[in-house]
Amino acid sequence: MLTNNKNVISWVDEMVALCKPDKVVWIDGSEEQLTALRNEAIATGEMEELNKEKLPGCLLHRTLPNDVARVEARTFICSRKEEDAGPTNNWCDPKEMYAKLTPMYDGVMKGRTMYVIPYSMGPIGSPLAKVGVELTDSIYVVLNMDIMTRMGQNAFKNLGDTSNDFVRGLHSKADIDPEKRYIVHFPEDNTIWSINSAYGGNVLLGKKCFALRIASYQGKNEGWMAEHMLILGIENPQGEVTYVTAAFPSACGKTNLAMLVPPEIYAKEGYKVWTVGDDIAWLKQGDDGKLYAINPENGFFGVAPGTNAKSNPNALASTKKNTIFTNVAHNLDDNTVWWEGLDKNPPENAVDWTNQKWNGKTSDIKGAHPNSRFTAPAKNCPCISSEFDNPNGVPISAMIFGGRRAKTSPLVYQSFDWKHGVFVGATMASETTAAATGAVGVVRRDPMAMLPFCGYHMGDYFAHWLEMGEKLGENAPKIFNVNWFRTDDEGHFIWPGFGDNMRVLMWIIGRCKGTADAVETPIGYEPKPEDINIEGLDIDVNTVKDLLNVDIDLWKEEAKGIEEFFAKFGDKLPAELSKQLSDLKARLSK
Ligand code: GTP
Ligand code: SPV
Ligand code: MN
């Protein structure tokens, strides 16, 4: 035992009695213990050790083909009252859910070891950090949590002997039976139960389950925010850094934007971009009135496909040591990894993510799963911010929303004010991706990119955003919307994206500083086409004009879609948002 905290000890005892593991191992986070676990996972075949020269400390893992992404249909928010979970979450009465799951956990760890993982979300000692304990029968989970969180004995420091303020996570792979898979949150009990999965967001309980679903609920009650947002800093040639956050749905470009490499036109002037976080932000008003953000995580669980030396060299560099790869292709010639979009030289002598013989030159099936991932330590990232461990976080000047929209949404626009910005976030829509099971490419509303991650009633969540705006007043960050994914008639992306997204960020920062101009459209403020710097790109100002075009007929359709979506929330929809919708309609018919 690594703590004298009575609440931790008695809860662990209770869960041990339920799961009946052969052995209980407390994870202290020491290198000896982690090395022993890595060796055990390699010996049993759970993980494979990769090329020691090319990828030192790196491991490869494959999950079952039925267990490759988050399962939204089997994810539950079990608040005592159904209306507290709201229309966008699956709900079940907590008593009923405990009664259903308890027999599934009974004896589930017989013949297995239970690992007790203490971890901190946020820098240890930070006033914004929170403690979790995850119990699991998976070494893969332990090794991933080591990368993704501040894991081990030190995490208990913040808790003391009597506090009850820690999130109780119970995970068992059980039989990895998709029919019995449950990812269940009990927000009022600070508890998460996950069973029958061994994949990423379903089992690394510090991430989406705690840092978004439970934390969003805590944030509402405690006056802060937990958001599905990257955090980045842009340093100008004078050395001033402006921090922005951006919320895009899963697999819509957060990691890429967070690690952006400035195009030559800015790099040569001395602009730099620093990564604070790539997926989750916890935001709280500071003593000076401004909104501050920390990244509660300690690593990146990033999408592998499409990551390459051109699109995201910083992410690629982050994966060169002490990284876990999940569901990528395995190059047997040199014992390295490969995924679609890494380079134009797929291995011929390889196995695909399902461990079948695979020749990347001749095969027409994919070598890596579209949602294959790398788990890389944040400190590996060449552009990690010097403020990464700052316990007080970084001050936020702008918040950006965005998604994948082939049409409708322009390259960038700014909301008229905070309230309108909340409307812009609340009405976001995006095409679905492989990050969750189900159809890909279907447009769905995904407010603030939080549809799968909000741990309470989405109407109350909108109200919380509006309240935060009231509290922040003049210090409220400016709110923007971007879309890198507009397509032409052949379905090709028009905007070059990736590093060139900096060109749009520069207008955003100019707006925050009051140095950039804008024109008013029915949906918000837009740059003039010539205000987006396209020097060095092979697109012209007319293309930018097209990218910024607001098609009034499409937007009238959009307003109808928003109205239908809002109807779901009944009287929980803040009146302010209905007003924003009628204002939009009025502007569109002017
Ligand atoms: P999660 O980890 O699931 O939350 O995803 P994410 O939002 O961090 O997305 P990520 O940055 O990993 O990007 C997902 C996919 O979008 C990758 O295949 C990228 O190559 C692609 N992508 C990212 N940015 C851009 C962009 O600016 N333009 C285009 N066309 N594609 C992009
Ligand atoms: C996402 O789906 O938004 C992710 C990956 O970041 S997971 O951890 O699986 O949720
Ligand atoms: Mn994510």
Say what the pLDDT of residue 2 is.
92
* CA distances to 169, 211, 222, 396 from 189, in Å: 11, 15, 16, 31
Q: Give the residue, by CA position, lying nearest to ligand 2 atom 7.
A: 201
The strand pairing partners of 351, in sequence order, are 330, 357
- Joined tokens for residue 509: 């920062």
Cα–Cα distance between 260 and 244 in angstroms, integer? 13
Q: Could you read off the pLDDT of 335-394 as tens digits, one per residue?
A: 999 999 999 999 999 999 999 999 999 999 999 999 999 999 999 999 999 999 999 999
Q: What is the pLDDT along the chain (590 residues), one digit of tens a residue?
A: 899 999 999 999 999 999 999 999 999 999 999 999 999 999 999 999 999 999 999 999 999 999 999 999 999 999 999 999 999 999 999 999 999 999 999 999 999 999 999 999 999 989 999 999 999 999 999 999 999 999 999 999 889 899 999 999 999 999 999 999 999 999 999 999 999 999 999 999 999 999 999 999 999 999 999 999 999 999 999 999 999 999 999 999 999 999 999 999 999 999 999 999 999 999 999 999 999 999 999 999 999 999 999 999 999 999 999 999 999 999 999 999 999 999 999 999 999 999 999 999 999 999 999 999 999 999 999 999 999 999 999 999 999 999 999 999 999 999 999 999 999 999 999 999 999 999 999 999 999 999 999 999 999 999 999 999 999 999 999 999 999 999 999 999 999 999 999 999 999 999 999 999 999 999 999 999 999 999 999 999 999 999 999 999 999 999 999 999 999 999 999 999 999 999 999 999 99
Q: Give the residue, by CA position, lying nearest to ligand 2 atom 9.
A: 201
Q: Could you read off the pLDDT of 126-175 as tens digits, one per residue?
A: 999 999 999 999 999 999 999 999 999 999 988 989 999 999 999 999 99
Ligand 2 center to 387 CA (angstroms): 24
Answer yes or no: is the C-beta of 300 below 6 A from any ligand 1 atom. Answer: no
pTM of the model: 0.98
Ligand 2 center to 201 CA (angstroms): 5
Instruction: For residue 302, give the ligand nearest its CA.
Output: 1
Measured distance between the N- and C-terminal CA atoms of the chain, rounded to whole angstroms: 68
Counting from 1 in the atom list of ligand 1, the atom nearest the Cα of 253 is 11
Answer yes or no: is the C-beta of 367 below 6 A from any ligand 2 atom. Answer: no
Instruction: For residue 342, give the ligand nearest its CA.
Output: 1
Q: Give the residue, by CA position, lying nearest to ligand 1 atom 27.
A: 497
Is 252 considered catalytic here? yes
Answer yes or no: is the C-beta of 486 below 6 A from any ligand 2 atom. Answer: no
**Which sign, positive or negative, has the C-alpha torsion 564, 570, 576, 578?**
positive
Answer yes or no: is the C-beta of 373 below 6 A from any ligand 1 atom. Answer: no
Q: Could you read off the pLDDT of 534-554 as tens digits, one per residue?
A: 999 999 999 999 999 999 999
Q: Could you read off the pLDDT of 277-321 as tens digits, one per residue?
A: 999 999 999 999 999 999 999 999 999 999 999 999 999 999 999
β-strands 524-526, 166-172 pairing: unpaired
Q: Nearest 5°: phi and psi at 162? A: -120, -15
Say what the pLDDT of residue 158 is.
81
Ligand 3 center to 446 CA (angstroms): 13
Answer yes or no: is the C-beta of 435 below 6 A from any ligand 2 atom. Answer: yes
Nearest 10 degrees: CA dihedral of 283, 287, 288, 291? 10
Using most ligand atoms within 8 A of CB, pick from 207, 254, 371, 448 the residue to mutate for ligand 2: 207
Q: DSSP characters for 506-523?
A: HHHHHHHHT-S--EEETT
Say what the pLDDT of residue 160 is.
87
Ligand 3 center to 90 CA (angstroms): 19
Say what the pLDDT of residue 156 is.
94
Say what the pLDDT of residue 1 is.
82
Answer yes or no: is the C-beta of 68 below 6 A from any ligand 1 atom. Answer: no
Q: Active-site residue among 19, 58, 252, 454?
A: 252
**86, 460 contact by CB (below 8 A):** yes
Answer yes or no: is the C-beta of 374 below 6 A from any ligand 1 atom. Answer: no
Cα–Cα distance between 264 and 260 in angstroms, integer? 12
